[in-house]
Structure 1
Amino acid sequence: MKNVLAVLVLCAGASLAQPALASLDLAKKARCVACHAVDKKMVGPAYRDVAAKYQGQADAPAKLFAKVREGGAGVWGQIPMMPNDPDKISDADLKAVIAWILAGAPN
């Protein structure tokens, strides 16, 4: 019985980790990581810095979605972020990545 319980706990933990890993993988697939990292500034801000800046803002997902699609500059400095269209990252994948970032970009 203890072995069965241990297996169930391990499986549950693995399934909880999948969305975070999947979202990081989506960010890598869309090449977002060329300019952004989880925990350090590169060309653009770290994902965790983005999460901290937008913490508690109900409209954060919509703001970030628009920022990724339209691009822009001035929020994090003068280096512009180029627009990223749905050919680079689909709406569904972008929403998943944004949710992951706003959750603190867990590993």
Structure 2
Amino acid sequence: MKNILTSAIFGTLFLVSCSKTEAPKSETNTMLKEPTEQEVTAAKTPEEEGKDLIEKANCLTCHKEEGKLVGPSYAEVAAKYSEADIDMLADKIINGGSGVWGDVMMTPHPGMDKENAKKMVKYILTLKK
């Protein structure tokens, strides 16, 4: 008798848990609003993307735009290098280095994508005075 009662309870619970009830669907004929000119965001330049990447990375721990911190300021780097040095500087961001600006080693960033490193360098070079 207990087995029949237990089976009946579990069977009922099984049927209730497996039943499907769908929420009623609401249907509207409302048109979606077209984006206005102000709502459309312009694509960023590589330099702007580079600035964003610098702000999100740990670069500002050792560098500032103006004035030496641990490493040279970006303005100093921009004064020393040109567009011809973009690949070399991007590699330096990825691989690290030392000796150019003193004895303190620049930490390597091996996970950095080279194209992103180039964008960072392009931004830094815009700070040339």
TM over 0.5: yes
The structural deviation recorded for 1:76 is 0.2
2:66 matches 1:39: yes
Q: In structure 2, how many angstroms separate the alpha carbons of the residues matched to 1:97 and 1:84?
A: 13
Which residue of structure 2 lines up, in the alignment, with residue 50 of structure 1? 77
Residues 61-102 of structure 1 show CA distances to partners (whole Å, capped at 9, x for unaligned) of: 01101211111111000000121112xx32222111111111
| Higher mean displacement: 69-78 or 19-28 | 19-28
- Measure the CA separation in 2 of the matches of 1:25 and 1:34: 15
Amino acid at match of 1:47: Y
Aligned: 1:63 with 2:119: no
* Stretches (4+) displaced over 3 A: 18-22
Structure 1 residues not aligned, in runs of 5+: 1-10
Q: Distance in 2 between matches of 1:15 and 1:44?
A: 33
Residues 37 and 105 (structure 1), Cα distance of their counterparts in 2 relative to 1, 3 Å cut: farther
Cα distance change, pair 40–15 in 1 and its aligned pair in 2 (3 A): farther
Percent identical: 35
**Native 8 Å contact 1:73 1:81 kept in 2:** yes
Is the 8 Å Cα contact of residues 38 and 105 (structure 1) preserved in structure 2?
no
Specify the SS of the correspondent of 1:42. Answer: coil
Which structure: larger Rg?
2
Higher relative CO (Cα under 8 Å, sequence separation at least 6) belongs to: 1
TM-score normalized by structure 1? Answer: 0.69
In angstroms, what is the RMSD of aligned CA positions? 2.4
